[in-house]
Amino acid sequence: MPLKSSFGSIAVLGTGAIGSSIAADLVREGHDVTLVDQWPAHVEAMRAQGLTLAFRDADTFNVPVRALHLCDLASARRRFDLVFLASKSNDARWLAEFIRPWLDEDGVLVGAQNGMNDEALAGILGARRVIGCVVELQAELFEPGRIQRNTLRERTWFTVGELDGEYSPRVREVSALLGKVGRCEVTANITGAKWTKLIANTMTMGPFSLFGLRNFEAAALPGMFELSVRLGRESLAVGAALGHRIEPIFGIRADEFAGSSDENLVTTMQTLLSHVGRGRTAPIHDHLKGRESEIAWISGLVAKRGRELGIATPVNAAVAELDRQINAGERVMGAANLEALRALAGDAPGSSGQGAASTPA
């Protein structure tokens, strides 16, 4: 059956900071968008007052939206041509199962998430009903119905791609839609692009989430740069063993991505930080809200695949273990965790420091 290349009814499933940012811009452009979320207070606030986006150094705007609780879909009598899944990786599988009855047979789900979830989503929905997506958009949600968006549209970046690399009409249309939210490119190597983002996240999101600091503060901690490079080397080695070819993402030009492996890692990390340096990484928000973070699907995934492949990943394993301790209430966020990270990972770049990583189910 041919799949749609024109999307009428759109759902954003998971309207946290990222999903709400996507939804608000699409609604403002006049698209038929339904927002579906599991936080009751957020849904009720959006129903009563609309969705407000506050940009740093730019205008704040509010849009009326159609917001549904998860339980509302059973009686909403709606089916969707296109679903943007913008949840944390922890929730990817069950939400894909949840939305399946309401996704048209020839519709498509775009996994606008961190992590490497496309294979799992394809296993649930079918590979031809999934488009991969890499997101660089920093935003915060603490007050129901109100998003603090920290990256302006010109510094927001997406790339999308068919899982088989086809440059299809529908992937171009998805790119055009996301072009209303930020810059968007199409790639024939979406898995490689997503692993490249994973590498960047292991260098920044993973360790920074242990400290509770803003990104630029965490990056300035003594020795953090060297630890970030070590994390990137481990993640790059595991990705290469899995057959993933890294891509110049975040709008980096090919000529800027033609150096050594370490130079490319640093370029990717520094480009990401230049766009999101003033905000706090998403797992910090989870810890502050008492929720489990998704680092088990970031640093923990690298450590898990490394063990399977016989590749040492002591620093990623240490990050995942310290994150597990924070999730379990055994440790609190703080800059003091930098020393714990060093001790668990080993001080020397060649160390085989031990640490039992939290890993995805």
CATH code, domain carrying 282: 1.10.1040.10
User: Of 135, 170, 188, at which residue does a domain stop?
Assistant: 188
Domain residues for 82?
9-188
Q: Are residues 49 and 184 in the same domain?
A: yes
pLDDT value at position 276?
A: 64
Q: Are residues 234 and 176 in the same domain?
A: no
Number of domains comprising the chain:
2
Can you give the length of the chain in residues?
361
Q: Are residues 83 and 141 in the same domain?
A: yes
pLDDT value at position 3?
A: 45
Could you tell me the pLDDT band of residue 2, with boundaries at 50, 70 and 90? very low
Q: Are residues 183 and 327 in the same domain?
A: no
User: What's the mean pLDDT in 47-66?
Assistant: 90
Quick check: 106 pLDDT over 80?
yes
Could you tell me the pLDDT band of residue 321, with boundaries at 50, 70 and 90? very high
- Per-residue pLDDT tens for 164-187? 999 999 999 999 999 999 999 999
Could you tell me the pLDDT band of residue 353, with boundaries at 50, 70 and 90? very low
Structure tokens at 187: 């790639």
Structure tokens at 50: 């609309």
User: Of 139, 165, 188, at which residue does a domain stop?
Assistant: 188
CATH number assigned to the domain comprising residue 99: 3.40.50.720
pLDDT value at position 275?
A: 67
Buried b (16+ CB within 10 A) or exposed e, 311-345: bbbbbbbbbbbbbbbbbeeebebeeebbebbbebb
Q: Are 103 and 79 in contact (CB under 8 A)?
A: yes
Q: How far apart are CA 299 and CA 226, in angstroms?
A: 17
Structure tokens at 108: 């498509």
Quick check: 355 pLDDT over 60?
no
Maximum mean pLDDT: which of 47-56, 263-272, 308-317, 351-360: 308-317
- Per-residue pLDDT tens for 139-164? 989 899 999 998 888 889 999 999 99
Q: How far apart are CA 62 and CA 66, in angstroms?
A: 13
Q: Are 296 and 360 in contact (CB under 8 A)?
A: yes
Q: Are residues 141 and 200 in the same domain?
A: no
Which range is least confidently modeled, 65-74, 93-102, 196-205, 313-322?
196-205
- Structural domain contains residue 146: yes
SS3 (DSSP) at 36: strand
Q: Are residues 184 and 199 in the same domain?
A: no
Q: Are 163 and 127 in contact (CB under 8 A)?
A: yes
Q: Are 191 and 245 in contact (CB under 8 A)?
A: no
pLDDT value at position 81?
A: 96
pLDDT value at position 359?
A: 43
- Structural domain contains residue 352: no
Beta bridge partners of 60: 54
Cα distance from N-terminal residue to C-terminal residue, the chain: 33
pLDDT value at position 220?
A: 87
pLDDT value at position 235?
A: 94
Q: Are residues 211 and 136 in the same domain?
A: no
pLDDT value at position 324?
A: 96
User: What's the mean pLDDT in 209-226?
Assistant: 89
Q: Are residues 160 and 71 in the same domain?
A: yes
Quick check: 34 pLDDT over 80?
yes
pLDDT value at position 57?
A: 64
User: What's the mean pLDDT in 254-271?
Assistant: 77
Could you tell me the pLDDT band of residue 110, with boundaries at 50, 70 and 90? very high
- Structural domain contains residue 350: no
Could you tell me the pLDDT band of residue 320, with boundaries at 50, 70 and 90? very high
Strands 146-149 and 139-143: antiparallel
Q: Are residues 62 and 45 in the same domain?
A: yes
Give pTM, 2 decimals. 0.90
Q: How far apart are CA 17 and CA 31, in angstroms?
A: 19
Q: Are residues 21 and 167 in the same domain?
A: yes
Quick check: 266 pLDDT over 90?
no
| Mean pLDDT for all residues in the chain | 89
Residue of 159, 138, 123, 93 lying closest to 297 (CA atoms): 93
226/267: higher pLDDT: 226
